[in-house]
Amino acid sequence: MSKNNSKLTSSLSRRGFLSACMGASAALILPASASAKTKGYHSGERTLSFYNTHTGEKLTSTYWADGFYLVDNVKEISWILRDFRTKEQYAMDTKLLDVLHELQCKVECNRPFHIISGYRSLKTNHMLRGKSSGVARRSMHTQGKAIDIRMPRFDTKQLHKAALSLKAGGVGYYSKSNFVHLDTGRVRSW
């Protein structure tokens, strides 16, 4: 093979590699459930509203627009979902934000999600494990991949049913405390 053919082959393989990378990047920006047919889910923007029940903070933020996550807005969301006990912040999994958005569209309700628990530091998780057998040792909250929520004036049992129908990760229903747990782990429920 001549030197020029070698460069051409090398260039083509680089192009192929770059094309594959671009394809993989596009897959990363797809919603957690790309087959979602929920009204408004595939629009040009994804916006979420939160109310932190522990700090009283409110936030409405468009975290995704025109095919891209908006880094600064995702950081804002991560801040409101911080561990309120230790003030530690962690980068929340964007797949979790997509699941919340998909759930919001599924129930056709734009009310803010009331945050019971977002990110949880290892210290907080350990403390909570000492108080309750229902707290996992390796909680997905400690990885920014879980959230406990409710919606004002919306039946939590119905919210739970809607979350289950998404088949987008773990879903738990805590009727006594009136909240739903969502995470981006394997599909399971309790």
Average pLDDT of the chain to the nearest whole number: 83
- Residue 96, pLDDT > 90, answer yes
CATH number at residue 75: 3.30.1380.10
Over 70: is that where the pLDDT of 19 sits?
A: no
Which residues are CB-neighbours of 64 under 8 A, at least 6 positions away? 29, 45, 46, 70, 94, 97, 98, 101
Calculated CA dihedral for residues 138, 142, 144, 148, nearest 10 degrees:
80
Q: Are residues 92 and 3 located together in one domain of the fold?
A: no
Q: Which of 123-127, 153-157, 180-184 has the lowest mean pLDDT?
A: 123-127
Same domain, 19 and 53: no
State whether 52 and 119 are in the same domain: yes
Please indicate, yes or no, whether residues 20 and 55 belong to a single structural domain of this protein.
Answer: no
Residue 128 belongs to domain spanning: 34-189
Number of domains in the chain: 2
Is pLDDT at 76 greater than 60 in this prediction? Answer: yes
Same domain, 5 and 92: no
Question: What is the tens place of the pLDDT at every residue in 119-136?
Answer: 999 999 888 877 876 777
**Contact assessment for residue 142 and residue 120, using Cβ atoms and an 8 Å cutoff:** yes
Q: Tell me: do 80 and 171 sit in the same domain.
A: yes
Q: Binning pLDDT at 50, 70 and 90, where does residue 154 land? A: very high
**Confidence band of 43 (pLDDT split at 50, 70, 90):** low
pLDDT for 137 equals: 73
pLDDT at 42: 52
Q: What is the pTM of this model?
A: 0.76
For residues 16-42, average pLDDT: 42
Same domain assignment for residues 13 and 41: no
